[in-house]
Structure 1
Amino acid sequence: MEKEILENGLNQNRRKFLSKVGLGIGSLALGSLLIPDLFKGNAGLDEEAMMAALPHFAPKAKRIIYLFQNGAPSQLESFDYKPLLNTYMGQELPESIRKGQRLTGMTSGQSSFPLVGSYFGFQQYGEAKAWISDIFPHTAKIVDDICIIKSMHTEAINHDPALTFFQTGAQVGNRPSMGSWLSYGLGSENNNLPAFCVLLSRGKGNGQGVYSKLWTNGFLDSVHQGVQFSASEDPVLYLGDPKGMSRQDRRKMLDQIASLNQMNYENFGDPEINAKIQQYEMAFRMQTAVPEVTDISKEPDSIIKLYGPDCLIPGTYAANCLLARKLSENGVRFVQLYHQGWDQHGNLPNEMANQAKDVDQASAALITDLKQRGLLDETLVIWGGEFGRTNYCQGKILADNYGRDHHPRAFSIWMAGGGVKPGIVHGETDDFGYNITEDPVHIHDFQATILHLAGIDHEKMVYKHLGRRYRLTDVSGKVVKQILV
């Protein structure tokens, strides 16, 4: 290996070089001799080498935990209080407010669009006097630790393209997910765990599907695909050895497979062969690391009480929040949690109350837990769905039973830690909760801001594929500097 590097080292950029020799002190010293500008910033580097220079600047967020509420929770029952809707209950949404906005097929045939106010009460909390729904009492307690963004907007109006847009920066598939981009750019802090992990949970409400394309590596090397954890006895499927195979036998087998794969790589030069070698090696190291990080038996009673009793049930949202903390503190760069059940086209008061009960305590516990461990300042936590909900009722209004359709024009999320200003509310909507009136934040602005917090200039994080240069934010996106510390 060293002979190969000595022969070709001058043609290697930082990323390729370090991927071959690892990060040992001897390798770093050798690298500095072969490539003089290896550790000298971006001067003189071409586009590919610019990628290898990541991070572009000192990151505020070393790790990210994304609590995705799949199905789109209503902002009007959570963080965007609009008492005018209760005052005008049942009255028609003015055309001057709707302005001919595109509708979904579920309400395009309605003859009227009656306004409907929230069934739940709201109270103000924290120094910012942020309005929080009564169904999120635990979130209300941490309001001074979070930044609520009320002015998110997107072009996508249906679940699959909207969810894909948030995760990959495009409404169509086969683009690398956000976690894959971060894995590619920054790698993992722990060589025994993947840089990108995925956790799934299901609530009691109407669910929308999640698919592996949401955590795909796309056109990046397959080592950057998200690793899905399950609620079974084996958190990562097919990781264990067959009965009768010792660890030494597994090691010998992997060495033989690596040797054969290396021969194939020398013959064909396919980078996926190297990726396969790396995946085998990662799986071998994970055999020890995963059981340790998923074991919650050593967590004190105070932590179990903080997250709630559901955290003892594998696969629940609470259990996944606790696991997300453990993965993050063990060096996993990006933990993506999906919680299904937020698609309330009908029976919203009952379903959303149950959904909020599922996630409220554990979400707040994650922030509290990270904070008391001194990890919140360097861990970015995100909570939110793929779009919002309409201010008018889908179907007929019943006082305690109504539904809301998809609304991409204005919705709310919250962020915490990792360089985000705590205790603020960013953006505003009109009195009807329909249009943004202050500080709009587009999906690509949101993604650019996340990358910025991770130390990445989103315009420089580029990958050339099939003759085109791709990036997570496509051809747009601005960092939302107002929410940064």
Structure 2
Amino acid sequence: MQNPQPQLANLLSRRMFFGQAGSALGAAALASLAESPLQAAVRQSAAKAKRVIYLCQSGAPSQHDLFDYKPLLTQRQGEELPASIRDGQRLTGMTADQTTFPLTPSKFPFAQYGESGAWLSSVVPHMAKIADDVCFIHSLHTEAINHDPAMTLLQTGTQQPGRPSLGSWVSYGLGSENADLPAFVVLISRGSSLGNQQPLADKLWGSAFLPAEQQGVKFRGAGDPILYLGDPAGVTRKSRRQMIDAVAQLNRLEAKSIPDPEIEARIAQYELAYRMQSSAPELVDFRDEPESTFAMYGEEAREPGTFAANCLLARRLAERDVRFIQLYHRGWDQHLHLPRDLSRQCRDVDQASAALVTDLKNRGMLDDTLVVWGGEFGRTAYCQGELTADDYGRDHHPRCFTIWMAGGGVRPGIQYGRTDEFGYNVVENPVHIHDLNATILHQLGVNHLDLTYRYQGRDFRLTDIAGGVVKDILR
């Protein structure tokens, strides 16, 4: 067995180096929000977007019932999907035992909207009104066929847990523009669907091996936005400040004996929490919003924790220069009774999603705010289970699905990529998850190839060893 003492000495010397470097960086970060050498290094060009609002629809919305109109499915309703189209695709455990795969059109009628002529279904009438403000990408694809690995891939660039999330990479590379709020905020809402509500794990907004302060800060939907934000009875701001200073002194003493970047991260988090005691209550207090705001977003925007309220909160966070705002809305996993449950889900998100884009546009913020709307994969063109005229379900489909993007230098009013007449395979301009993430970083002025972090002897990046910017959708 190898003597552990030299290894321990090397470890301590490395930890000392990184700890001392972390102390210097931590002090600088608290003193100023000026761009760091890291931030300067990863910037490739002038950013078109200053911030991102990511409206993540957990559970996989059906592109066939929302955005990707396929009249052939109506013409050939109930017929078998040709084996040449399916081409031996991997199936989930839910449909692996099916002997037939009947083509299934949407129950909801489609129409074209705006000068762009985008096809949208009747279940998203508010999104139809912003058709000329968004770019629909119909050719997204992924390798993952089940929810947890697919969502992990979408948010971290790999199906395996243990990698930093997109928001954490952005926070790490670009830092914060507001010392009183986190650079990365997470908001979660539960859908009205009676079907599956896929769980969401902290790994989706975690920082993994990046510094701990880069992880997303999850706001609660009721009460204080963050636990223990208020001071206990009898504790004044002055005594709280004294306590924070004393804890910081103890942490720095520990850092001298056992240097560790995580100690500096802890100091920074204490400082941020102290400042948020003043900034967060004002942020989540909607009483200063005019009635026209609630008419735009819908009455549910008055109800903390709803998707509509989170969209309004996202706009308020964007106004305060929060860098990355991640909304998750659960409930899109509709294997059965899709018409019923999809209608419920769309009532949750349709008006507020469109209102957010319109609100940003009216305030002159859409040009430098990138809005992304979509889930982890798509839904099959065939029915899962029994097919009737008014009821059907769809299984997972990673080969193609639709998302939309708005603002942040993305070309509005275009449809990019194309699927075959069955809506089953991409036939034009495929876009992988890595391409999507590379494009998001590009709009923030970051080259995805340069934003790396060395861990366990390897340079990691969000897009792993793939990805390319989708330049055709950019202004």
TM-score (norm 1): 0.91
Aligned residues: CA RMSD: 1.8
Indicate the residue corresponding to 1:71 in structure 2: 59
| CA–CA distance in structure 1, aligned partners of residues 446 and 410 of structure 2 | 15
**Matched AA of 1:326:** R
* Pick aligned residue for 1:21 from 28, 38, 61: 28
1:425 corresponds in structure 2 to 415
Query: 1:290 aligns to what?
Result: 280
Partners of 2:19 and 2:208 in 1: how far apart? Answer: 24
* Corresponding residue number in structure 1 for 2:115: 127
Shift, 1:241, TM fit: 1.4
**Correspondent of 1:307 among 294, 297, 305:** 297
**Of 110, 126, 144, the match for 1:156:** 144
| Cα deviation digits, residues 10-66 of structure 1 (max 9, x gap) | x999998554224868x97xxxxxxxxx99xxxxxxxxx666524232111100000
Q: CA deviation at 1:189?
A: 1.0
Matches within 5 A, 1:93-242: 93-205=81-193, 206=195, 207-242=197-232
Q: How does 1:276-287 map to 2 (within 5 A)?
A: 276-287=266-277
Partner of 2:348: 358
1:46 match:
none
State how far apart, in whole Å, the 2-side matches of 1:133 and 1:474 are: 36
Residue number in structure 2 paired with 1:470 = 460
1:201·1:317 contact (CA, 8 Å) conserved in 2? Answer: yes
Structure 1 residue identity aligned to 2:72: L
Name the SS of the counterpart of 2:409 in structure 1.
coil
**What amino acid does structure 1 have at the position aligned with 2:239?**
D
User: SS of the residue aligned with 1:346?
Assistant: coil
Distance 2:382 2:363 in 1: 43
What is aligned with 2:405?
415
**Would the alpha carbon gap of residues 275 and 14 (structure 1) be closer, same or farther in structure 2, given more than 3 Å must change?**
closer
Q: Does the CA-based 8 Å contact 2:48-2:443 persist in structure 1?
A: yes
Per the alignment, in what secondary structure is the counterpart of residue 393 of structure 1?
A: coil
Match of 1:272 in 2: 262
Q: Are the equivalent residues in 1 in contact too, given 2:39–2:174 (CA < 8 A)?
A: no
Amino acid at match of 2:205: W
Distance in 1 of aligned mates of 2:289 and 2:98 = 53
1 CA distance for matches of 2:127 and 2:379? 20
Write the deviation string for residues 268-304 of structure 1: whole angstroms up to 9, x where unpaired: 1100000000000000000000011111100011111
Shift in CA distance, 226/457, structure 1 to aligned 2, threshold 3 Å: same
Contact 1:179–1:215 (CA under 8 A) maintained in structure 2:
yes
What's the counterpart of residue 7 of structure 2?
none
1:345 to 312, 317, 335: 335
Provide the secondary structure at the position in 1 that maps to 2:170: helix
**Paired residue secondary structure (1:392):** coil
Aligned counterparts of 1:14 and 1:53: Cα–Cα separation in 2: 17
Contact 2:19 2:259 in 1 (8 A): no
- Give deviations 1:70-107, integer Å, cap 9, x for gaps: 00000000000001101111110001110111000100
Query: d(CA) in 1 for partners of 2:19 and 2:235?
Result: 39
- Within 5 A, what are the aligned runs for 1:25-44? none
1:413-448 Cα deviation digits (max 9, x unpaired): 000000100010000001000001110000000000
Partner of 1:55: 43
Relative to 1, partners in 2 of residues 1:427 and 1:15: Cα closer, same or farther, differing over 3 Å? farther
Among candidates 381, 389, 395, match of residue 371 of structure 2:
381
Residue matched to 1:436: 426
- The 1:69/1:190 distance shift into structure 2, 3 A limit, reads same
| Distance in 1 of aligned mates of 2:468 and 2:42 | 19
User: Counterpart of 1:482?
Assistant: 472
CA distance in 2: counterparts of 1:19 and 1:258, whole angstroms: 12
How many residues are paired up? 456
Structure-2 separation of matches of 1:274 and 1:53 = 22
Cα distance between partner residues in 2 of 1:58 and 1:23: 25
1:187-244: CA deviations, max 9, x gaps?
Answer: 1110000000000001112211111111101001110110001112111112221111
Q: Deviations over 1:252-279 (max 9, x none)?
A: 0110110110111111110000000000
Q: Give the letter for the 1:199 counterpart.
A: L
Counterpart amino acid of residue 71 in structure 2? P
Equivalent pair of 1:13/1:52 in contact (CA under 8 Å): no
Residue among 461, 465, 476 paired with 2:451? 461
For structure 1, the 5+ residue unaligned runs are 1-10, 29-37, 40-48
The answer to whether the 8 A contact 1:51-1:461 is kept is: no
CA contact 2:20–2:259 (8 Å) conserved in 1: no
TM-score under structure 2 length normalisation: 0.93
Q: Give the unaligned 5+ runs of structure 2.
A: 1-17
Mapped partners of 2:208, 2:52: distance in 1: 20
Q: In structure 2, how many angstroms separate the alpha carbons of the residues matched to 1:274 and 1:425?
A: 46
Q: Distance in 2 between matches of 1:17 and 1:188?
A: 17
8 Å CA contact 2:52, 2:325 repeated in 1: yes
CA distance in 1 between partners of 2:25 and 2:251 (Å): 20
Percent identity, aligned pairs only? 58
